[in-house]
Chains A and B, each alone.
Chain A
Amino acid sequence: MKKIFRFALVALMAATAVVSCKDNKEPETPAEYKGPEQGTSAWSVIGSLLDTNWDTDFVCAEQDGVFVLKNVKLAKGNEFKFRENKAWDNAYKGVFAELGKGFEVDNEPGGNNIKPELEGIYDLYLNLTDSQAAICAAGKAPQWAAVEKSNAAKIVSFSLKSGDVTIEGEVFDDDKVVEIQYNPEHAALVANATAVYEISPKATISPDPATITDWTNHVELTVTAQDGTTKNVYTVEAIPAEFTVAIAPVAGVDGKLLTDLGANNDIVNYGGNQIAFAGTKNIVTCDGRVYDLDFKYVGDLNRGEIGAGAIMGLTNDDNGIVIAAVGYGDAEYSAAPVDGDGAVTWNYTNSTRFFAWKDGWDKAPVKFYENGSRLMYINASGDFNGAMLMTAKQGVNEGGNGNHHLFHFQAGVVDGSKWAWFETHKAEIGIGGEQNFTSGAWRLGASAGSVACPVGTDKNDALFVYAQALSALSVEDPNYATNVTDKWGKDGNAGMIVAARQGFTGTDLILEGTAETVNGKTKPHRYGGLYGWGNHCITGGIKAFQYNGTAYVGVAGSNWNETHFTVVDITASAPGSTAAILATTSDNTGKMAGGGLGSVAYIYDAETDSGHIAVLFATPGNDVSSEVRRFELTREKK
C-alpha cells in the first residue's frame, strides 16, 4: 500500500509540474528563434535586447487598442523602452513587477528603463490608455491593473502662435472661456495662428486644435476626462486687448541743455525735424552726434560719402533706419557752427541728396535719392527696405516750387508713378507763383511754410499730419479784436496750424494745443497763437505715429521764452475737441531770445513694448538754451 501511495504521489507531483509549466511561468526557448513578430504601428521597442544596443527599433503591431511585440527573446540584463515614431520625443519606461500583470509606465524624462530580468520568449505589451505595460509569456494575454480613471477635464493653458509672435490666452475656468487678448497690431495674425495648449493629464480635446488656424470667430473646444464621461466645453474668444496707455517724461533727460550733452548750442540751422532715432537704442541729432536713450553721447554718425554736405533734415523709418536730407552747394555749412553766432539763415543749396544708414549709425550710409534743388522738411513712414512713404518740401529757390512732395519708395528706389503734391489747408502756392505764407509773421527764413508727416505707406490711405506757419492776423480779424485786454499789438502772430487728414486729399481735422490758456481759451492770445501751439511760426516740429492702434502726433511749438510740447491723440479728437495724451507742457528757459525750433522723433521698441519720443528745441543765437526732452509711451493691459 505504501508503495502504491508513493508512486501515486510521485505521479501526482510530475503532473503538477507539467501543469505549472503551462501557467505564466518561464517557458522553454524554442530551438530555432526567428525573431520578434513585428507590425506596422508607430510604436516600437528599443533597447539592449536581441543583441542590439539601443540602435534598433522593433516595430509593434496594434491589437485591440494596445501595441504589442510578440515572440521576443529576452535575456537577463536586457533593458528596453517603448517609443513612438522611432524617436525619443515620446518614450515610455517603468518598473516591471510581475509576469503577465500590467505595471505603470510613463513618458516623463528620467527614470529607469524596463528591466525584467527574464530569460525566454515573451510578448511585450504597451497600453497607452491606462499608461501600463505588460510582459507575458508568449501567447498569453496581459492582466491589466485596475486604474482609477481621472475625471479632470480642464484647459490648463492656451496661446496662439503665428510666426515669431505668441499671443497668450487667459483661462477663466469658472466661465469656461479662454480669452485671447491680442494687441491691435496682431489682429491679422489671429486669422492664421497655431494653438499651443495644455489640458488635464490623460484628457482629450475635440476638435483637435491643430486642425484650426482661424481663431477670429469663437471656437468651442470640448475637453473629455480620462473617465470618458466628465466633459467641459470651453469657448476660445479672440478679442482685442484693452490697454491703458500712459506717457511720462524720462527722468533726468527732460529739459537737458545741448551744451550739457557736450554739443554746440547752435546745431540747428533749418526748420523741419533735426532729430531721429537710430534703431531703438540711439538718438541722432543734425550735428551728427549720436546718443543713447538717456542722451549720453556714444559717438558720431558715420558720414561715409556725404563729404561737405550739410544735414538739413533728419527722420527715421519705422525700424530706426536714419534718413537725412543733405544739401550741397553752400560751403558755409560744411563748417561747424560756433556758439553765439548761429543766427538762423536759409542759405540755398544746389542739390539735395537723401542718405539712409541701412546698417546702423556707425556704418557708411547709402545715397538713395538725389534732386537738383533743395528738398527738406522730410518725414518718413514705413520700411526703408520695403515700402516707404516720404514727404519733403522743395525750396522755391534754385528751381524748387515750394510745395510738398510725396514720394513712394520701394527698397530705396522711388516710384515716380506714385509721386504727388501735398496741398495744405492754407494754399501755399500756385505753381509758378509766389509762396503764400507767413508774411509778417514770426518765422524763420523765407522757406518757413509747412511740413507734412505721414503714417502709412500709401498716399491714398495714409494718415497725414501737417503743420503750417500762418500769416499774421489783421486788425480786422475778429480773433484779433477780441483780445483787447492782452498785449496782442500789431504783431498778430498767429503761430501755426496743425491738422490731420486721412489720405493726402482727405478732409482736415484741425487740432488745437493749450499753450497759454486764458479763461479756458487758447485763442486768440499773443503767446498761444491762433490754435494754441504758441505764436512762434516754426515748421517741422511734428511727428505723427501710431501706438497701440491709436494715431498720435507730437507737436513742438514755441513762443518767446517758452517751448511747448504736446502729444495729441488724433484718434480720440474731433472738430473743436482735441484730445491729448500729453497736454501741452511748457518749459520756460527764461532766455530764449531767438525762439525755439522744435523737432520730434519717434520709434516703437518691440522689446520694451514702448514708444520712445525724443524732442529737440533749438534756440540758435545768443542764448544758450537749446534743450532736449525724452518721453516714453507705455501701455498696460486692463
Chain B
Amino acid sequence: MLALSLSACKQVEMPFTHEDSDVVITSMLMWNLPNKPITADSPFNVKESVEAEITHNATNEVGEIVFAVPRAKRNLFDLEHVTLQATVGYDLYITPSLAGSWDLTRDEAGNPKVTLTVKSERTGFEKKYTVYAYVKRTD
C-alpha cells in the first residue's frame, strides 16, 4: 500500500504554455520574388531579401513590422508583389497564411494595408502587427 501511495504522488508533466508576452513574431523576411520570375531577363531573377524592423510595443498593443528597402536595392523590389517569411515561437501560428504574394505598400493616407495576427494555440492569446514596406532614400 505504501508503494502504491508513493506511485500516486508522482508529479504530472505539464504541457508547454506561452506567457502572453511570448506571443510575438520573432523575425520576418521580405523577398522580392513572387511565386515565379516575371520574365527571363527580369531583375527579379536576382533574389533579394530585406529583414524587418519589428516594434512589438506593449503586450496588448498592436506591433509594427516595417521593411525598409535600401536605396540601392529599390529597383529589385516591387512592393506590391513580395513574399514573406516569418519566425515565431513554438506552438504559435500566424493568420492569415503568409503564402502567396503580398502588397506591402500603404494606402493614400499612409496607413498600412496589411495586419497579421500571431496566436498561441494553447492559451488563445493573440497579438496583431501592422506590416508595410517602403524605400529608404539612403542605403
Contact = CB atoms under 8 A, between A and B. Distances in A.
Interface of A: 150-152, 154, 172-175, 177, 179, 200-201, 225, 230, 638
A200 B108 contact: yes
A173 B109 contact: no
Contact of A152 (B108, B134, B136): B108
B96 interface: no
Given A152-B109, A154-B108, A154-B110, A172 B72 contact: no
B108 A174 contact: no
Given A179-B137, A230-B109, 7 more contacts: A150-B108, A152-B109, A152-B110, A172-B135, A173-B134, A175-B136, A225-B109
A172 to B, nearest CB: 4
Give chain A's interface secondary structure class: loop
- The range of chain B's interface size is under 10
Nearest to B105: A173
B137 A175 contact: yes
Nearest to B68: A174
A200 B109 CA distance: 9
Contacts of B109: 150-152, 225, 230
Interface of B: 72, 107-110, 134-137
A201 B137 CA distance: 25
Nearest to A177: B137
Contacts of A172: 135-137
Give chain B's interface secondary structure class: loop
Contacts of B137: 172, 174-175, 177, 179
Contacts of B72: 638
The 7 A-B pairs with the shortest beta carbon distances in the complex, nearest first, are A152-B108, A172-B137, A175-B137, A151-B109, A174-B134, A152-B109, A200-B108
B73 to A, nearest CB: 12
27 contacts: A150-B108, A150-B109, A151-B109, A152-B107, A152-B108, A152-B109, A152-B110, A154-B108, A154-B110, A172-B135, A172-B136, A172-B137, A173-B110, A173-B134, A174-B134, A174-B135, A174-B136, A174-B137, A175-B136, A175-B137, A177-B137, A179-B137, A200-B108, A201-B108, A225-B109, A230-B109, A638-B72
B85 to A, nearest CB: 23
Contacts of A200: 108
B136 to A, nearest CB: 7
A175 B109 CA distance: 15
Contacts of A174: 134-137
A321 to B, nearest CB: 36
Contacts of A151: 109
Contacts of B107: 152
A177 B137 CA distance: 8
Nearest to A171: B135
A170 to B, nearest CB: 9
B72, B107, B135, B137, most chain A CB atoms within 10 A = B137
Nearest to B75: A637
Nearest to B134: A174
Contacts of B136: 172, 174-175
A605 to B, nearest CB: 21
A152 B108 CA distance: 5
Nearest to B66: A174
A209 B44 CA distance: 36
A377 to B, nearest CB: 44
Nearest to A230: B109
A201 B108 CA distance: 9
A152 B107 CA distance: 9
